Structure 1
Amino acid sequence: MEPRKKIAIIVAGGSGTRMGSAVPKQFLELAGKPVLWHTVSAFAKAYADMQIVLVLPEAHFSYVEEWLGEFPGIMLIKGGETRFHSVKNGLDQVQEHSVVFVHDGVRPLVSVELIRSCYEAALESGSAIPAINMKDSIRELHEEGNRAVDRERFSIIQTPQTFLSELILPAFASPYDPLFTDEATVVERQGHIIRLVPGEEANIKITRPLDLIIASALLG
């Protein structure tokens, strides 16, 4: 398939309550820069023609204004009531056939290699969702108690969840459903097969103070 325009929709709507911080977690400092700066930087490095759409609550715009100019062509868009609506607002900026990445703003350690492998896989299969194996034992809870389940049957899902625009745009035209936990569930509802690609152990989501310490160590 011919190369396509590349659009990264980076969603950062967290409040930072689990961090116990007045500053939302995506703006906390990591190796001298805000968490979200590292995330944006990874996509900017991955492809010279990457268009970045940053989706934030309007009240958070002031947090990014001082460094936004470092990334030419980046677009700042107001978020919505839920993640689904925030992604939908970002998708409104997609005007032509593209490969669309949807990424958590609080996954700052995503590698250029993972972004590129998602792009190549989405060109081939229509979608590319990074996933890693479970290492811990897990149990399923039910009304009578709980039971062990085979962890080999489960994967841990990461972002960037990556799709051809002709799959994700019509999917997000459907009405919101609380069962939509991520972009893959929205696209899957349209009858599309979801392709999993190898994710990265270091592609952690920063939601608690310990995650920031781990991320600092990984960067160092």
Structure 2
Amino acid sequence: MTRTTTVSSDIDSRDVPAPHRRKDVAVLVPAAGMGLRLGGGTPKALRELAGEPLLVHACRRLAQAPSVAMIVIAAPPAEVEAVRAMVPAATVVPGGATRQLSVAAALAAVPETIEVVLVHDAARALAPAELVEAVAAAVRSGREAVVPALPVVDTIKRVDTGECVLETVDRAPLRVIQTPQGFRRVTLVRAHEHAVDEHTDDAGMVERLGHQVHCVPGSDLALKITRPLDLLIAESLLAAHPL
């Protein structure tokens, strides 16, 4: 696969005052999945939005966050060199057969000197740097695990196997969870070491360890691009919120 789009700027060269550059965060981006609901035979993270791969959009925004010291991408094994060319400022490792294995592979590349680790889906390609900073700050404050969350706005009903409504669920305590999700590095390492089932959510793995997961306000820009319709919505958001 030949790509010419790159995220080539050095993360340390952003125009951010030195006192505000904490540089204590690694962001893991599992990007090896195919994303069948989006259609086509291209890995989901490499599908294009406005002429550039979702992965490039995501990493460009991650690189805007002053706290980010490194980005580690778990790429499709056959696309490792192509992804390195797209995002030269990132560390790129071969991803696994599942999201969980890809996160574990990326986590293994993070040095022990980095204490805060975020996990971010390339499919949330427009998540703003401010959201990255909010999650990182909450972990720094002493939280073991932090997730961005939005209130549920739709009416939710529980149904039986015949699709008959059993009850209307109170939506007040419900939240839609986004990424990046943030963790103390040692907590995330321990969660992966003790995982016995397949998880699609790293915070869920930490919950299984008995740790509390804290919510911070999410962002409408951090929508997950899963279906073709989501690409159209993301294009409109990108036009309204360019970098």
Same fold per superposition (TM over 0.5): yes
Amino acid of the structure 2 residue aligned with 1:212: L
Equivalent residue number for residue 75 of structure 1: 91
Task: Give 3-state SS (helix, strand or coil) of 2:221's partner.
Answer: coil
1:42-72 CA-to-partner distances (Å, cap 9, x unmatched) read 1111126520100122023254243222x2x
Q: 2:205 aligns with which of 182, 186, 210?
A: 186
Mapping for residues 1-220 of structure 1, pairs under 5 Å: 5-47=24-66, 49-69=68-88, 71=89, 74-96=90-112, 97-124=114-141, 125-143=143-161, 145-146=164-165, 147-178=167-198, 180-220=199-239
Alpha-carbon distance in 2 for matches of 1:151, 1:48: 34
TM-score of the pair, normalised by structure 2: 0.82
Alpha-carbon deviations, 1:115-169, whole Å to 9, x = none? 0000100111222100101111111123573321111121001000101112111
Partners of 1:49 and 1:109 lie apart in 2 by: 16
Task: State the alpha-carbon separation in 2 of the partners of residues 219 and 112 from structure 1.
Answer: 14
Shift of 1:24: 2.7
Equivalent residues, number: 214
In the alignment, structure 1 segments of 5+ residues that lack a partner are: none
CA RMSD of aligned residues (A): 1.8
CA distance in 1, matches of 2:124, 2:83: 17
Unaligned runs of 5+ in 2: 1-21
User: What is the match of residue 14 of structure 2?
Assistant: none
AA partner of residue 60 (structure 2): S
Q: Any conservation in 2 of the 1:7–1:53 contact (CA below 8 Å)?
A: yes
Residues of 2 paired with 1:22 and 1:62: CA distance? 19
Alpha-carbon shift at residue 104 of structure 1 (Å): 0.5
Task: Provide the rounded CA distance (Å) in 2 between the counterparts of 1:114 and 1:35.
Answer: 18
* 1:14 positional shift: 2.5
